Amino acid sequence: MNALRKTLRWPKTGQDIKRLALWDAGEIAAATGGTASGDFQVSGVEMDSRDVRAGDLFIALCGETTDGHRFLDKAFANGAAAALVDRPIEQPHVLVKDTSVALELLAKAARKRAAARIIGVTGSVGKTGVKEAIFAALERTSRGGAHRSVRSYNNHVGVPLSLARMAPRSGYGVFEMGMNHAGEISGLTAQVRPHVAVITTIAPAHIENLGSEEAIADAKAEIFQGLEPGGTAVIPADSPHYERLRAAAEARGAKVLSFGRADHAQVRLLDAIPAANGGSLVTAALEDQRLCYSVAEPGEHWITNSLCVMAAVHAAGGDLGAAGLALAEMGGLKGRGARHRITVPGGHALFIDESYNANPASMRATLSQLGATPATRRIAVLGSMKELGDFAPAFHAQLSEPLSGADVDYAILVGEEMLPLARELGKPIHPSLGKAIRFAHCEGPGEAIAALEEFGLAGGDAVLVKGSNSVGLGRLVAHFAAREG
């Protein structure tokens, strides 16, 4: 029997008989307390008129600086089937008092009707990549029944939007939750109500607002407050805050499943060796099982991330073999590890795009990855790390150590906060301590592009681009990625 016939004869489940439409007018009205203009069905939910596709419900959100109702014509021109609005319009719609509140109510209804296993993911570093890997693992064996939050839709708007997009036939839902203040994840996890709550790691991201790593750990641990009865908390065994996280999880009645290198980790690394593709071959222990799999993504941090993925998939009742295949095939995400091979004089240069986010822990991890990357010359374009407050000067200056450890030949530092690092790199270095690192300090991405052009890329170069998203280094990546080939 060929593969097509096998697929057609795949046993049907209760999920298969559910309709394909995401929402109909009556369901939206009932969920939001609104009034529908007539009968219609929608296949998606969108809040940005530029991203609307045929069949979507466009939600006209009202923010501090803009009003989504101004973009209704564009949304319908792009194919919207209906809109959620707070004022009458001629096109198909559901009329509500407040569209932001209505979005949360629609999300609540989506979560209530879902029979899916729900996984919530947070952490200071790696949450988007881990979320994507968990989704890829669950998608392989769910026949298209896995759902996840796209991009970094992890805030007070992105989370309910992602929930509202979850189809009733979904078997799994994977949702990312972010924060920069205490109390934010508490509100998000109450909406998601996960069966599995994952914390990737604790690091000094957003320390400006929270004051200490202990406070960051407590804020991330808020994810356990929304756990469904009998739920599982997946936490990093190697974290200095492990006991703090474990206590917070157990206080909510959660089963704890830890991952890492520590002897007490339930998903424990036994061995990892470099793979030919730049990734790793990993051997891990999971209770009484031995797991052997490949990780396509390079870097020590992805070895740890893979253990987290395995723990989450196991806790969700997923297929660990499929998780191994997903990790072996994953490529880097835009702004989060995507790699570009660009044409330069003398051959090709490697561009590593980490331009979406940065904090002290992720900077060190990716610089270590750069140091392990075979290259004729290594170049680091580093943008400011935001939301570090009074800790910023010290954290930026301390990047001189991982820069030196990565054997970087040239560094381009972008943003005012990078001045302490520029001063550190400008200090005289004794010959016995290694080579001095050439560097340029730039105000913004435009100057950084000019500095890199002036330096001159050559065949065999490896370039790491990393910084907080607001620095705008994605512009630099796009400029040079246009030469990909």
Structure confidence by residue, pLDDT tens digits, 150-204: 877 899 999 999 999 999 999 999 999 998 889 999 999 999 999 999 999 998 8
Counted domains in the chain = 3
CA angle, residues 355, 282, 375, in degrees to nearest 5:
45
Would 9 be classed as within a structural domain? no
**For the chain, which residues score pLDDT lower than 70?**
1-20, 206, 429-434
Of 43, 93, 44, 39, which Cα lies nearest the Cα of 68? 93
Q: CA dist 210 to 119, 186, 427, 482, Å?
A: 25, 15, 32, 40
Q: Are 280 and 163 contained in the same domain?
A: yes
Neighbours of 395 (CB within 10 A): 20
d(CA 454, CA 179): 39
Q: Are 383 and 255 contained in the same domain?
A: no
Would 467 be classed as within a structural domain? yes
For the CA atoms of 314, 317, 319, 323, the dihedral, rounded to the nearest 10 degrees, stands at -50
| Beta-ladder partners of 285 | 268, 290
Q: Which domain holds residue 46?
A: 14-99
Tens-place pLDDT, residues 204-255: 876 777 789 999 999 999 999 999 999 999 999 999 999 999 999 999 999 9
Among 266, 299, 329, give the residue marking a domain's end.
329
Q: Are 72 and 145 contained in the same domain?
A: no
Q: Which H helix or E strand runs over 24?
A: strand 23-24
Among 99, 126, 147, give the residue marking a domain's end.
99
Would 107 be classed as within a structural domain? no
What local confidence, expressed as pLDDT, does residue 7 receive? Answer: 45
3-state secondary structure 240-293: CCHHHHHHHHHHCCCEEEEEECCCCCCEEEEEEEECCCCCEEEEEEECCEEEEE
Tokens 């939600």 locate to 59
d(CA 435, CA 1): 64
Q: Are 389 and 434 contained in the same domain?
A: yes
Neighbours of 471 (CB within 10 A): 25
d(CA 210, CA 216): 6
Q: Are 299 and 366 contained in the same domain?
A: no
For 326-382, give the DSSP string: HHHH--PBTTBBEEEEEEETTEEEEEEEETT---HHHHHHHHHHHHTS--SEEEEEE
What local confidence, expressed as pLDDT, does residue 3 receive? Answer: 45
Among 289, 307, 329, give the residue marking a domain's end.
329
In one-letter notation, the amino acid at residue 139 is E
Judging by beta carbons within 10 Å of its beta carbon (0-12, 13-18, 19+), is residue 271 exposed, middle or buried? exposed
Judging by beta carbons within 10 Å of its beta carbon (0-12, 13-18, 19+), is residue 366 exposed, middle or buried? buried
Strands in 78-136 per DSSP E: 82-85, 93-95, 117-122
Written as six digits, the tokens of 455 are 């330096």
Radius of gyration of the chain (CA): 24
Written as six digits, the tokens of 447 are 């100057």
Would 63 be classed as within a structural domain? yes
d(CA 97, CA 101): 8
d(CA 444, CA 356): 15
Neighbours of 446 (CB within 10 A): 14
Q: Are 272 and 353 contained in the same domain?
A: no
Largest separation between any pair of C-alpha atoms in the chain: 78
Judging by beta carbons within 10 Å of its beta carbon (0-12, 13-18, 19+), is residue 105 exposed, middle or buried? buried
Per the CB < 8 A criterion, the answer to whether 231 and 254 are in contact is yes
What local confidence, expressed as pLDDT, does residue 11 receive? Answer: 56
Q: Are 73 and 179 contained in the same domain?
A: no
What local confidence, expressed as pLDDT, does residue 209 receive? Answer: 73
d(CA 306, CA 235): 13
Would 5 be classed as within a structural domain? no
Q: How far is CA 187 from the centre of its chain?
A: 19
Would 181 be classed as within a structural domain? yes
Q: Are 72 and 208 contained in the same domain?
A: no
Q: Which H helix or E strand runs over 217?
A: helix 213-220
